[in-house]
Amino acid sequence: MNKGSRIALAITGSIASLIAVALVAGGGLALWGDSLKDGDGYLRTDTEQFRADTRALATDNLDVDLGDADWVADSNDLGRIAISAESRDGKPLFVGIARTSDVERYLAGVPYTAVNDVDVTPFRADYERHSGNRHPVAPEHAGIWQASSQGTGKQSIDWEVDDGNYSVVVMNADGSLGVDADVSAGANIPFLDEFGWTALGSGAFALILGIGMIALAARRTRTAIA
């Protein structure tokens, strides 16, 4: 084996070892996340307060892009999203999820607050206020929701993830000004366990392969020197 081949072998082995470390780390993270699921199989956030002096709180779009893999949606492997919200002032509350384009049309000309970003630790939400003077039709009559719930007490929705751009909306059931609610979210990701073990197995194989290639290159180098 010439010098160039030994160097190429050592470099390839090093790259394989780096990929192996990433796979093992990703697999371990996936298995750790899977262990945090509740009894219903959801990973859930803490409940936090969201408030605005406008008529609605709406998230930025949740972009679910399946590309050419629409068959994945038919296999029910994309999981589900759960949102729970409860008014802090006792008003009947509405929570719903709809296509972002439908939400934008529904809230056109309505004063509402967009939730652009959320930091978990410590909790902090970035808001963007949209001005307007229109009173929207009651959300229950909007006819745009993929999933929705309204009433007093805690309101929850459970939505099967689908292809497209979606937004979550929380507002008073009558569309009145001033939204103040405790909100939590959860995700049921069914393939975490399978991904974790697959990544760990693949990472272990790649690590053995990488170390073997590095050792072989070093051995060939020592043989050539001798």
pLDDT value of residue 69: 39
Is the pLDDT at 224 greater than 70? The verdict is: no
**For residue 19, what are the domain limits?**
3-35+193-225
User: CATH number, domain at 107?
Assistant: 2.60.120.380
CA dihedral 29, 32, 33, 39 (to 10 degrees): 170
Instruction: Give the percent of the chain with pLDDT over 90.
Output: 35
pLDDT in tens, 136-183: 999 999 999 999 999 999 999 888 877 788 999 999 999 999 999 999
- Indicate the range of 63-67, 100-104, 203-207, 217-221 predicted with least confidence: 63-67
Whether 100 and 204 share a structural domain:
no
In this structure, which amino acid lies at residue 213? M
> Cα–Cα distances in Å, from 103 out to 64, 66, 118, 135, 154?
16, 21, 20, 14, 22
Whether 51 and 131 share a structural domain:
yes
Q: Average pLDDT of 192-214?
A: 62
Instruction: Give the percent of the chain with pLDDT over 70.
Output: 56
Residue 224 main-chain phi, psi, to 5 deg: -65, -40
Count Cα atoms within 13 angstroms, Cβ side, for 185: 15
Whether 29 and 74 share a structural domain:
no
Whether 141 and 155 share a structural domain:
yes
Whether 83 and 150 share a structural domain:
yes
CB within 8 Å of 136: residues ≥ 6 apart: 55, 56, 106, 107, 110, 142, 175
Secondary structure element (H or E) that encloses residue 224, with its range: helix 192-225
Whether 116 and 70 share a structural domain:
yes
pLDDT in tens, 47-74: 888 999 999 999 876 544 434 434 333 4
**Per-residue confidence band for 95, with pLDDT thresholds at 50, 70 and 90:** very high
Is the pLDDT at 225 greater than 60? The verdict is: no
Whether 77 and 89 share a structural domain:
yes
Confirm if 180 and 49 have CB atoms less than 8 A apart: yes
Whether 60 and 158 share a structural domain:
yes
The residue among 213 and 34 whose pLDDT is bigger is 213
Domain count, the chain: 2
Whether 147 and 115 share a structural domain:
yes
Whether 114 and 158 share a structural domain:
yes
- Residue that has been written with the tokens 């959860």 in this structure: 186
Whether 211 and 170 share a structural domain:
no
**Short-list 30, 89, 93, 100, CA closest to 59:** 100
pLDDT value of residue 32: 57
The residue among 70 and 87 whose pLDDT is bigger is 87
Whether 166 and 125 share a structural domain:
yes
